[in-house]
């Protein structure tokens, strides 16, 4: 009998097969709706009525089966390792889901009077205080709905700050490193700022000379994340803060990578003025296949008056909503924040307490472990000491990051973030988080290494064990189909 | 006998370091902090502690709150579906081959909202109704570059504030148009304000007084080159004319009523639909249908070149995380109720409004307007202390929500299918005393 190659053994040992159903669209089931509501009188004029309504016409059992089958065609962090860099896919604890489903919290209307929602406000106030402590800031708002929305809120604060100080016309630029998340320049531009990119130096850090050259009287703020998207802590941060502050500009902290530093250092002590958090990353709230997230913002005391309103305050043992901030930017969300997410994050923070920093430490250990092991087979540019994530390049392996990312899916693991950050060619950005075991990591590393050994046609034809094979993305964009056939056109 | 090494010992040994402190050698000591974040808790104590916080909330005896967020019945199947961990604990589907479940669901969400609104295209969700409205104004500006947006004079203060924040970097002027004594759009005033400079016109239907606004149906006839943005109530579309039927260019709404718990107003669901010719100028994520390498139906995130991770400062929006899970909830809800269920739900809601108006009238409390209400009803009412005494939620003053100059002593009472006839009668009795 012919001996199996090593990579084939792995395949044999770790069978993964995702379900595939040729699932019809809900509007083609036509099994007859069985949701009962009593007959009701209709005495309204036709002039206000629609001509046609065509929603799916299905029984509840079909709805249930449809989504159960679809769910079997979806990978999740409850199934296995999901090390998307900068996404912090850690385990989402079920106690958080449990408390989030308490009817006393779920059934609260946002316009309910403060006296009836002291419990809701208590949770919000306590999370605000926790975030303030964790970030080394002085005040916080829980209102923004996602990380990018937090950035938008923070940059609105920057703008209002210069407006109030009579410098708005002169401060119209925001500086961003070339390694930044795409949301940073997008958020800055949304608020009307011109985006100036500065290159990273040979260590993957901010090039101080380039920063000095970019900083000028028009600079409103510098937006960075530390550790950066390469997973490297920028130890020049105090010098950077000095350069920015000496110029009269503000320093913005993108909190996407907070899981690396929680309990170890704070944006406050690093000299930042504004911070946003991603509760769905650092605080383990489930990301729901794309959202919801939550993006609270915290600021130093001199920016308190600019926060969105209301903020939750505690006076004489009573919680209330405080609106009277002199320079407030106003509102960024319909109501006061994504409470369902806030509550889960609060549960996570309260449960872990002082162990939160142990989670950060384990996350950093795991990242360095994987980086060192993978550095035998892959180039890992920039300095070797990593924080919570690292970026490898597949350039010198002769394999494309895209191909490797598809190959590893066949082994029941999710791929890293690919082709980001933009400054690394054929990039794969890996963030294991504290939730993975040594066995998980060794298996992942094994699969990554095997991806370099398999025959070219094997890797090009992967994945084969997922519910579908490689998808023609160009066709999807060229021949846009954005809804099911037989839709209820207005004709 | 050798002591078994822990996982962390093994990692440290492999990294050839004594303790994890060495991994933080790049964070200078002067930046280090020692935070007291409290003692860790066991799960039972944690849950007990949070249940105690929850017990500090007081449920109202009756709830007449609305104005955008409504206490509707949610079939348990909806929570069951979005509670499945395969959906709940997945990330944005960056690897589509292994994420077809959420992609297929979001594609169906786009489809069902397009059917409900009779609009060409729906994106795969925005944060909430008000940010969706503000993004619509930005999108209209990207499309025609004109410098004025017309908004209803009774617009909620929070809606207006969000729009102002979203257009702060654009050269856009916000102009309010008036309402007539009947509570409907003052068409003469609106017409007089539409010009070649108008980028977009926002109409709400039901309007922000709670009335089905028939005047909104005709705005597209004289909107010139402006885009018509309709802010609708998704449950009302079970019966009422759809935004697509009256020439809407961008239709937006709050989707909370479609199977999402109120949760003190978040997380919510922004519904965002538009004409297909504007797709390249639209914000947010879009799921497209394609095929895999063996010809099977397969879904991907498409037109990503509009988005922040590719286009960066020139992106159509900065949206990364959206409200995917809640979009699935709304799809499940609409599928469970179906056309017939949604029509009845709209009718029940409107009939409850009629009953409420009638009973309060008999108790001496008059409606401000005579028109047809959907969920929200505006009354001449300033007896809020009676509501507090009887532990009734509702009676939100118009002046609390809007800077509208009139009807200072008026307040809203809202109904859903959950509002019982008995509670309406009790409300009438208590407020009429």
CA atoms within 13 A on the CB side of B305: 8
Q: What is the pLDDT of residues A364-392, one digit of tens each?
A: 999 999 999 999 999 999 989 999 999 99
| Number of domains comprising chain A | 3
pLDDT of residue A30: 85
pLDDT of residue B379: 98
User: Domain ranges in chain B?
Assistant: 62-73+338-432, 76-333
The percent of residues in chain A predicted with pLDDT above 70, rounded, is 97
pLDDT of residue A7: 66
Does residue A142 share a domain with residue A252? yes
**Band of residue A125 on the pLDDT scale cut at 50, 70, 90:** very high
Q: What is the pLDDT of residues B51-70, one digit of tens each?
A: 999 999 999 999 999 999 99
Optimal mutation site among B338, B393, B399, interface A, most CBs of chain A within 10 A: B338
Q: What is the pLDDT of residues B337-368, one digit of tens each?
A: 999 999 999 999 999 999 999 999 999 999 99
**Residues of A with Cβ-Cβ distance to B264 under 8 angstroms:** 105, 108-110, 112, 117, 120, 335-336, 339
**Residues of A with Cβ-Cβ distance to B81 under 8 angstroms:** 63-64, 67-68, 71
What number is the average pLDDT over the span B257-267? 98
Helix (H) or strand (E) holding A153: helix A147-164
pLDDT of residue A2: 56
Does residue A427 share a domain with residue A375? yes
Does residue A58 share a domain with residue A179? no
Q: Cα separation of A387 and A364, whole Å?
A: 5
Does residue A323 share a domain with residue A246? yes
Residue of A nearest to B372 (CA): A44
A459 touches chain B (CB under 8 A): no
Does residue A124 share a domain with residue A244? yes
Q: What is the pLDDT of residues A439-480, one digit of tens each?
A: 999 999 999 999 999 999 999 999 999 999 999 999 999 999
ipTM: 0.97
The answer to whether B32 contacts A265, with C-beta atoms less than 8 Å apart, is yes
**Residues of B with Cβ-Cβ distance to A123 under 8 angstroms:** 50, 53
What number is the average pLDDT over the span A300-319? 98
Q: What is the pLDDT of residues A197-245, one digit of tens each?
A: 999 999 899 999 999 999 999 999 999 999 999 999 999 999 999 999 9
Cα dihedral across residues B210, B214, B217, B221: positive or negative: negative
The answer to whether A120 contacts B264, with C-beta atoms less than 8 Å apart, is yes
Q: Cα separation of B67 and B209, whole Å?
A: 9
Q: Cα separation of B175 and A435, whole Å?
A: 52
pLDDT of residue A173: 97
Does residue A293 share a domain with residue A390? no
Does residue A331 share a domain with residue A421? no
**Band of residue A491 on the pLDDT scale cut at 50, 70, 90:** very low
User: Closest approach of chain B CAs to the CA of A243, in angstroms?
Assistant: 18
A21 touches chain B (CB under 8 A): no
A477 touches chain B (CB under 8 A): yes
- Residue B30 CA to its chain's centroid (Å): 45
**Band of residue B310 on the pLDDT scale cut at 50, 70, 90:** confident
Does residue A401 share a domain with residue A374? yes
Q: Show the domain range for A461.
A: 357-477
SS3 B396: strand
pLDDT of residue B395: 97
**Band of residue B307 on the pLDDT scale cut at 50, 70, 90:** confident
**Residues of B with Cβ-Cβ distance to A40 under 8 angstroms:** 344, 347-348, 351
Does residue A253 share a domain with residue A187? yes
Please report, for the domain that includes residue A333, its CATH number: 3.40.640.10
Which positions 177-236 of A are in contact with B (Cβ < 8 Å)? Answer: 181-183, 185-193, 195, 232-233, 235
- Which of B40, B106, B289 has the CB atom closest to A481's CB atom? B289
Q: What angle do CA B239, B240, B241 make, to 5 degrees?
A: 125
**Band of residue B259 on the pLDDT scale cut at 50, 70, 90:** very high
pLDDT of residue A395: 96
Note whether B254 and B128 are within 8 A (CB). yes
Return all residues near A379 (Cβ < 8 A) that are at least 6 apart.
Answer: A392, A393, A395, A396
SS (H, E, C) B239-304: CECCHHHHCCCEEEEECCCCCCCCCCCCCCCEEEEECHHHHHHCCCCEEEEEEECCCCEEEEEECH
- Which of A40, A368, A470 has the CB atom closest to B351's CB atom? A40
pLDDT of residue A11: 63
Does residue A453 share a domain with residue A400? yes
**Residue A44 belongs to a domain:** no
Q: Which of B86, B81, B287, B80 is nearest to A75 (CA)?
A: B86
Q: Cα separation of B113 and A426, whole Å?
A: 38
Q: What is the pLDDT of residues A56-109, one digit of tens each?
A: 999 999 999 999 999 999 999 999 999 999 999 999 999 999 999 999 999 999
- Which of A146, A288, A352 has the CB atom closest to B40's CB atom? A352
**Residues of B with Cβ-Cβ distance to A333 under 8 angstroms:** 127-128, 130-131, 162, 266
The answer to whether B339 contacts A330, with C-beta atoms less than 8 Å apart, is no
What number is the average pLDDT over the span A155-174? 96
**Residue A453 belongs to a domain:** yes
The percent of residues in chain A predicted with pLDDT above 90, rounded, is 93
- Strand segments, DSSP code E, in B23-172 are 62-63, 121-122, 148-152
* pLDDT > 70? residue B41: yes
A99 touches chain B (CB under 8 A): yes
**Residue A211 belongs to a domain:** yes
Fold adopted by B62-73+338-432: 3.90.1150
The answer to whether B318 contacts A186, with C-beta atoms less than 8 Å apart, is yes
| Other C-beta atoms lying within 10 Å of the C-beta of residue B366 | 12
What number is the average pLDDT over the span A270-287? 98
Does residue A335 share a domain with residue A413? no
**Residue A483 belongs to a domain:** no
* pLDDT > 80? residue A9: no
SS3 A166: coil
- Which of A44, A147, A365 has the CB atom closest to B320's CB atom? A147
**Band of residue B5 on the pLDDT scale cut at 50, 70, 90:** confident
Mean per-residue pLDDT of chain B: 97
**Residue A256 belongs to a domain:** yes
The percent of residues in chain B predicted with pLDDT above 90, rounded, is 95
Q: What is the pLDDT of residues B75-89, one digit of tens each?
A: 999 999 999 999 999
The answer to whether A67 contacts B84, with C-beta atoms less than 8 Å apart, is yes
For domain B76-333, the question of CATH label 3.40.640.10 is answered with yes
Please report, for the domain that includes residue A450, its CATH number: 3.90.1150.10
Does residue A385 share a domain with residue A248? no
The answer to whether B335 contacts A409, with C-beta atoms less than 8 Å apart, is no
The answer to whether B164 contacts A330, with C-beta atoms less than 8 Å apart, is yes
Which positions 407-446 of A are in contact with B (Cβ < 8 Å)? Answer: 409, 414-415, 417-418, 420, 437-438
pLDDT of residue A168: 87
**Residue A263 belongs to a domain:** yes
**Residue A80 belongs to a domain:** no
């Amino acid at each position: 009998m012919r001996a199996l190659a090593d990579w084939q053994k792995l395949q044999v040992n770790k069978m993964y097969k995702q379900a595939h159903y040729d699932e019809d669209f809900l509007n083609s089931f036509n099994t007859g709706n069985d949701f009962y509501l009593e007959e009701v009188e209709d005495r309204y004029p036709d002039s206000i009525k629609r001509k046609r309504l065509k929603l799916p016409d299905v029984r509840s059992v079909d709805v249930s089966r449809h989504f159960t089958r679809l769910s079997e065609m979806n990978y999740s962090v409850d199934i296995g390792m999901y090390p998307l860099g900068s996404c912090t896919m850690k385990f989402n604890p079920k106690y958080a889901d449990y408390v989030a489903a308490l009817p006393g919290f779920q059934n609260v209307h946002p316009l309910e009077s403060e006296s009836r929602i002291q419990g809701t406000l208590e949770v919000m106030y306590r999370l605000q205080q926790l975030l303030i402590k964790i970030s080394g800031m002085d005040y916080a708002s829980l209102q923004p709905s996602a990380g990018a929305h937090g950035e938008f809120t923070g940059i609105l604060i920057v703008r209002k700050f210069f407006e109030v100080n009579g410098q708005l016309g002169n401060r119209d630029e925001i500086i961003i490193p070339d390694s930044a998340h795409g949301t940073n320049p997008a958020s800055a531009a949304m608020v009307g700022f011109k985006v100036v990119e500065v290159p990273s130096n040979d260590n993957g850090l901010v090039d101080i000379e380039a920063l000095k050259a970019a900083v000028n009287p028009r600079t409103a703020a510098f937006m960075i994340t530390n550790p950066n998207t390469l997973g490297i802590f920028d130890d020049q941060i105090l010098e950077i803060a000095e350069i920015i502050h000496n110029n009269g500009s503000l320093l913005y902290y993108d909190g996407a990578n907070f899981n690396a530093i929680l309990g170890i250092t704070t944006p406050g002590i690093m000299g930042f003025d504004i911070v946003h958090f991603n509760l769905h990353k650092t605080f383990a709230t489930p990301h729901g296949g794309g959202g919801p997230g939550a993006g609270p913002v915290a600021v130093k005391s001199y920016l308190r008056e600019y926060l969105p309103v209301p903020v939750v305050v505690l006076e004489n043992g009573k919680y209330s909503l405080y609106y009277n901030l002199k320079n407030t930017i106003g509102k960024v969300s319909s109501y006061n924040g994504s409470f369902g997410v806030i509550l889960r994050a609060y549960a996570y923070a309260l449960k872990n307490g002082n162990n939160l920093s142990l989670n950060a430490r384990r996350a950093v250990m795991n990242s360095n472990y994987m980086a060192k092991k993978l550095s035998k087979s892959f180039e890992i540019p920039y300095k070797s000491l990593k924080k919570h994530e690292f970026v490898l390049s597949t350039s010198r392996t002769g394999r494309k990051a895209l191909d490797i990312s598809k190959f590893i899916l066949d082994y029941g693991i999710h791929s890293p973030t690919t082709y980001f950050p933009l400054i690394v060619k054929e990039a794969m950005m890996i963030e294991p988080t504290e939730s993975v075991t040594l066995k998980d990591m060794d298996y992942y590393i094994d699969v990554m290494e095997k991806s370099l050994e398999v025959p070219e046609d094997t890797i090009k034809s992967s994945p084969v064990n997922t519910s579908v094979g490689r998808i023609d993305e160009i066709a999807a964009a060229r021949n846009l189909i954005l809804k099911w056939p037989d839709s209820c056109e207005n004709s | 006998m050798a002591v078994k090494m822990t996982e962390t010992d093994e990692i440290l040994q492999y990294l050839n370091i004594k303790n994890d402190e060495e991994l933080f050698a790049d964070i200078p000591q002067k930046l280090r902090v020692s935070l007291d974040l409290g003692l860790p808790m066991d799960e039972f104590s944690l849950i007990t502690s949070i249940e105690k916080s929850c017990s500090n909330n007081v449920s109202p005896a009756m709830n007449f709150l609305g104005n955008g967020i409504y206490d509707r019945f949610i079939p348990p199947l909806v929570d069951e579906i979005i509670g499945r961990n395969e959906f709940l604990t997945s990330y944005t589907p960056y690897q589509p081959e292994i994420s077809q479940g959420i992609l297929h669901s979001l594609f169906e969400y786009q489809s069902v909202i397009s059917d409900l609104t009779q609009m060409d295209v729906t994106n795969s969700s925005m944060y909430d109704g008000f940010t969706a409205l503000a993004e619509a104004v930005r999108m209209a500006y990207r499309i025609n570059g004109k410098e004025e947006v017309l908004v209803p004079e009774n617009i909620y203060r929070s809606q207006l504030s969000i729009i102002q924040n979203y257009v702060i970097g654009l050269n856009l002027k916000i102009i309010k148009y008036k309402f007539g004594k009947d509570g409907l759009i003052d068409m003469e005033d609106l017409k007089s304000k539409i010009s070649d400079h108008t980028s977009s016109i926002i109409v709400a239907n039901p309007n922000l007084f709670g009335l089905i606004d028939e005047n909104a149906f005709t705005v597209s006839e004289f909107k010139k080159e402006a885009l018509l943005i309709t802010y609708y109530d998704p449950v009302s579309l079970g019966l009422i004319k759809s935004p697509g039927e009256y020439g809407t260019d961008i239709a937006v709404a709050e989707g909370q009523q479609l199977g999402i718990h109120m949760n003190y107003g978040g997380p919510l669901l922004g519904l965002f639909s538009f004409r297909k010719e504007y797709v390249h100028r639209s914000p947010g994520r879009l799921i497209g249908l394609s095929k895999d390498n063996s010809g099977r139906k397969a879904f991907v995130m498409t037109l990503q070149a509009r988005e922040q991770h590719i286009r960066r400062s020139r992106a159509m929006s900065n949206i990364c995380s959206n409200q995917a899970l809640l979009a699935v909830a709304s799809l499940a809800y609409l599928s469970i109720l179906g056309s017939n269920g949604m029509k009845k739900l709209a009718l029940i809601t409107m009939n409850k409004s009629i009953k409420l108006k009638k009973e309060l009238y008999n108790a001496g409390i008059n409606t401000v307007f005579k028109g047809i209400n959907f969920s929200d009803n505006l009354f001449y009412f300033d007896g809020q202390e009676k509501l507090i005494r009887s532990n009734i939620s509702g009676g939100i003053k118009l002046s609390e929500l809007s800077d509208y100059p009139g009807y200072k002593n008026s307040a809203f009472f809202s109904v859903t299918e959950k509002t019982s006839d008995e509670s309406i009668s009790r409300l009438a009795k208590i407020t009429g005393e």
